[in-house]
Structure 1
Amino acid sequence: MPLAVKDFTWEETEKMVFITVPLKGVKANKVDILSSEEYIKVNYPPYFFETFLFAPVDDTVSSAQIGNGAVVFQLLKNEPTLWGQLHAVNTGDKDFMRKKRDEAIQRNQERAESERKEKAEKKRESEKYTLNEMMRLEEQERGRINDVKEEEKKKAMDELERWKEEQRQAAEKERQRILEEEMAKEAARREELKKQKKRKGKNIFEESSGGNPTREVGKIEVKFTPRVFPTPVRESQTPLEEEWLRKQAEAQKIIEVEDADLTEEEKNPIFMRDKGNAFFKSGNYQAAINAFTHAIRYSPKMPSLYSNRAACHLKIRNFFKAIEDCSKAMDLLHPPVPQNADSRCKALVRRGTAFCELELYVEGLQDYEAALKINPNNEQLKQDADKMRSIIQSSKG
């Protein structure tokens, strides 16, 4: 049975009430306190203290401190006045006492529930604020990354535009040079025709009138040089064919590079090209690139070396290098003649593929359409070109 504590002390002022309850050696963590506006209970087995206050107090600002072997209550009165006694007048009434206990318990439960809800609401607000802050920071980071991507894309596009302008200027210079050569050849041909007309205008019988004998009949043998291009004369493009043959001859010339560590085979660009092709077939694309680069060192005007190296760059997704190599191959494959049609078609398709991988579908479509002009019966090229047109149309839409 609990033992009621009788040796408590209390003091009062007009505004405050101070109650000191001794703990009698009981540890502070075993003390249970229940308080309300009109009721105070301290339970620390086997001891028990309770009091029904003479008048209500403000329980929200009152306090209870445990320390130095006692519990000290500091209670703020609702109405400033001197009570004269601590206990309520009806302390002996059991119904009154039971009612006040129940009210105190209910009030504490309501207060605990209110505090729990308030704490949960604060926790939700804190989590909501934290989540919003995280989302804001993530949005800032996404914006920063997008800005970096756009800047890199802009730089790449500017670089590509500069490169295309350089290629256009180079092509224009080459076209002007070819045009000047054609004009010079045409002028020379006309001059030769004039000379032939003058020679034909002379009377071959004028000399015989001076008493000289008539020339004897003879036979002239005419031998024709076999043509490399089996093109009919009416369709012949002699200047372009001659220029292509000259470029082929230049491509076969091997640059002498002094390197004692290389064998004679390693100094042969044809051997290194075949070796690069073997590496490509086996899937060793970096070794193939090294082989083609080594071959270009000895034969920088062989277009197949650049075109094959571009295919390797496509495999390892070096798209800008693939575009550069294909463009170099196209320069070396000029002028366009039937003998280099297949090589030009391959270079155009590879460059168009690199453009598409960079999402530059308009440039890629231009190369594919140029390849289709060379090989109009290639169904795969037609299908790929149609796909690009669909992508371009959808992006415009």
Structure 2
Amino acid sequence: MPLQVSDYSWQQTETAVFLSVPLRGVCGRDADVFCTDSYLKVNFPPFLFEVFLYAPIDDGSSKAKIGNDTIVFTLYKKEAAMWESLSLSGVDKEMMQRIREESILQAQETAKEAAEAKAAAKREDQKYALSVMMKIRESDAQNRSDWDHNRRPGQSRRKIADNYTRPKGQQLPKSKDEKAGRGRKTRQNLTRNLASRNLATKGRNSENIFSEKLKEASVPPPRSVGTVQISFTPRVFPTALRESQVAEEEEWLHKQAEARRAVNTDIPELCDLKEEEKNPEWLKDKGNKLFATENYLAAVNAYNLAIRLNNKIPLLYLNRAACHLKLKNLHKTIEDSSKALDLLTPPVADNANARMKAHVRRGAAFCQLELYVEGLLDYEAALKIDPSNKTVQNDAEKIRNIIQGTELKS
């Protein structure tokens, strides 16, 4: 028996509907999404989500993005109007079954038309390729017939190629005297080239000998003898290693560390602090003042020490997340916001403001990492806590526009 998903959320404009369906462990390869102009279904065993839409949509241009245990749908309306609800009201089982069957038949018809269009386009491409090949073959046959027509009886095709490729006015030597003169000129050129090559080789040899003499003259003399001072790190125990008992020494050091940890003296930052400075609340107020003066690094150090003294105060993590967001430490912002949300339990009216700030800061960090779907989920969670917050509403609308591709990333 599939589990029906009912805790979805949706928002709309006059032209589009934004639907967010939470599914634990959902991924793109296992989720089965089926959508027509009046019906939407998501099958991800053991979860099932289906909705009979209030008005027709353009299923061809609608989009779905899967990630972070959520599917976000962007459904574009065929007619610009505000819907009274997401699904039809007063739909009985027979009408549901009829809509399902009509949607399946519509999807099959659409798939059949797409396959026929693809096959027709393939046939046109094959017909065009065949016509081009026929034209190429006809052109080759015409060239071969022209070639054979111009050839004289007993003349080879190479002679014809020579006649075609030899430029006008150029003739080969025909007499023996011309051939002999060409041979003499060739031998003279070879002799002249060999002589110039020998001169160049002698010049290079002389240059090599001269450079080698310069290298021998520039060799530095051997360095003089000197001494190097070496200082060794002193051991904890002054006894020599061959006379000491390493196991007993390690045990003693371990006991000393345990004793310092028991009296809470293993925090170096506490050694030089006054008694009032060891109070986490005092450190929190100090961090808030440093944050107000935009000294974010010092504020982070104050919150770090307060958390080491008491790691159960959620406002310390929330304030440190704000500092990390200013310093562009986005992953640390996400960690601190998540830790603050874990400590802000149970969700009551007294901690509503802190929970909203944690969602907004984590959502802002996700958006700066270009994880807009995860950021939108945190902004929607913040709007559930405070629906009248105009700033959060505007930021959420901008994130939706970025996901749809209608607004540039900033």
Question: Structure 1 length normalisation: TM-score?
Answer: 0.37
